[in-house]
Structure 1
């Protein structure tokens, strides 16, 4: 009886502590999103009539939306795997007894605490027509590259994305690597397994949950690249880096609420589908390894 009273009392306390977060999430995220989904099926932001999927048909017929969706899909499908692989490689190096290991660990964490807006000037200096990279190219008698006004803009954006996310991924990979018992490697070495087999049969297997989580976070982060793109390339980026966030921002500025909410709903739906597929693959892979 005493335990039930204690449990009930602490349940009330937990509810009071959770209430501010739940209310804030509902007011600023959940309710606006539900309203946005509703508006995407009407022909007006207030008092509009139901039009079914007409807004989505108009959206899919828009060349600007298709271009933004294609650029976003291409950026995500290329940048996310490359960033995850680079992060794993760096984590494997930092997990060894190398010189300056502690200093390097700190260096890779810095992008997490440095605001993007404060380092935009550095990226602009590097990739400007008269910037540092083109000066180095000229020093080797190579042709200058208009980094932000050509197809190279995709590379620039991928570099900025990797710089921002690699440090966080490395921390998670290091935590996963340090959680693998050393006895497994010693046993494998005694049985004659080489470095390749130890990596594929032990390291990758035990890093599977960590890798899926990092891939998931990297995927979400890739859909939020608008801030970096906007700060570096301003309002009118090159067509190759015109993302879904640019399209939605333009629809917001033109007060086209129907296309804005339709695009946002489609983007969230795509993310939910991709995440669901990733979780399904992770569960099947985990059951297979067991």
Structure 2
């Protein structure tokens, strides 16, 4: 019977296994191969020469800097704001249902309509510049200057914060209320209850929220692409722009190297998160 169950399980998992091999494992192996070769079809082995060229490229350095800067700025802000809003909603203040609806509203908006609103407000002839001109203040090219990065960070937080709030609320609602009641009897303050009850018990949720925030941060390329095109202002030129431009130029070697380096950045961030979660779990035990 056990052998039959194994065969049934293997048969049921076969479509997923084949799909994983065809769409992920085999393309990844081909990408690694192309990153060490040169020429059409990757006939000439060149070692790490492609990596050296890409890493010394000014375009790649700018894209990598902006991508890491965006990760280190937008992701912590998104997680922190989401946690604050979740704690506020968890305390059941007035208007909670309406506030939840407002937070979820950005998730159902199409990307194109969201970008259109940004352009209406921040374009040269937009509402913000119209207000500045009315009061005699100098207007600014918000989408083609240093402010473009901050606008994109704000757009990312507005778009993804509601999802984080839902995840944090799910984690907070799983905490037994008896723990808070016992803490109140012992005279614990709100800060103590958060530090010694809420936060330690939502660490797995926090880990998942951070991972999802990192993944969603790479989707911000869509907004940057629609707002500023294939060659945006330097402040919002990301690794995805570098990949897209090399794909259009059919430079598969540079594309393969940049893809693997982007994978390494994501792997590094997620690996550090796993290490932090394991250390926290061991300390708790």
Q: 2-side partners of 1:73 and 1:53: how far apart?
A: 23
Q: 1-side partners of 2:25 and 2:101: how far apart?
A: 37
Moved more, 174-183 or 132-141: 132-141
Aligned in 2, Cα 1:135/1:19: closer, same or farther, shift over 3 Å? farther
Aligned structure 1 segments of 4 or more residues deviating by more than 6 angstroms? none
Shift of 1:221: 2.0
Q: Deviations over 1:231-276 (max 9, x none)?
A: 1222221101100000111111111111111011011012112211
Correspondence for 2:15: 20
Aligned in 2, Cα 1:164/1:10: closer, same or farther, shift over 3 Å? farther
The question of whether the paired residues in 1 share the 8 Å contact of 2:167 and 2:209 is answered with yes
Q: 2-side partners of 1:37 and 1:288: how far apart?
A: 38
Aligned in 2, Cα 1:26/1:183: closer, same or farther, shift over 3 Å? same
What RMSD over aligned residues (CA atoms) do the two structures have, in Å? 1.8
Correspondence for 1:234: 229
TM-score in terms of structure 2 length:
0.93
Structure 2 unaligned spans of 5+: none
Moved more, 112-121 or 260-269: 112-121
Aligned: 1:143 with 2:138: yes
The question of whether the paired residues in 1 share the 8 Å contact of 2:230 and 2:245 is answered with no
Moved more, 153-162 or 214-223: 214-223
Correspondence for 1:182: 177
Q: Deviations over 1:195-251 (max 9, x none)?
A: 111111211111111111111111122233211110122222110110000011111
The question of whether the paired residues in 1 share the 8 Å contact of 2:107 and 2:162 is answered with yes
SS at match of 1:145: coil
Matches within 5 A, 1:37-116: 37-116=32-111
Q: Deviations over 1:163-222 (max 9, x none)?
A: 221111111100001011111112112212111111112111111111111111111222
Q: 2:256 aligns with which of 254, 261, 264?
A: 261
Aligned in 2, Cα 1:105/1:256: closer, same or farther, shift over 3 Å? same
Q: 2-side partners of 1:9 and 1:52: how far apart?
A: 48
Moved more, 33-42 or 123-132: 123-132
Aligned in 2, Cα 1:194/1:154: closer, same or farther, shift over 3 Å? same
TM-score in terms of structure 1 length:
0.92
Q: 1-side partners of 2:17 and 2:137: how far apart?
A: 57
Q: 2-side partners of 1:70 and 1:47: how far apart?
A: 29
Aligned: 1:160 with 2:149: no
Q: 2-side partners of 1:167 and 1:55: how far apart?
A: 41
Aligned in 2, Cα 1:109/1:19: closer, same or farther, shift over 3 Å? farther
Aligned in 2, Cα 1:255/1:280: closer, same or farther, shift over 3 Å? same
Q: 1-side partners of 2:69 and 2:284: how far apart?
A: 31
SS at match of 1:237: coil
Aligned in 2, Cα 1:142/1:202: closer, same or farther, shift over 3 Å? farther
Figure out how many residues of one structure are paired with residues of the other and give that number. Answer: 285
Aligned in 2, Cα 1:233/1:219: closer, same or farther, shift over 3 Å? same
The question of whether the paired residues in 1 share the 8 Å contact of 2:36 and 2:49 is answered with yes
Shift of 1:78: 0.6
Q: Deviations over 1:122-157 (max 9, x none)?
A: 121122122123334445554322111111011111
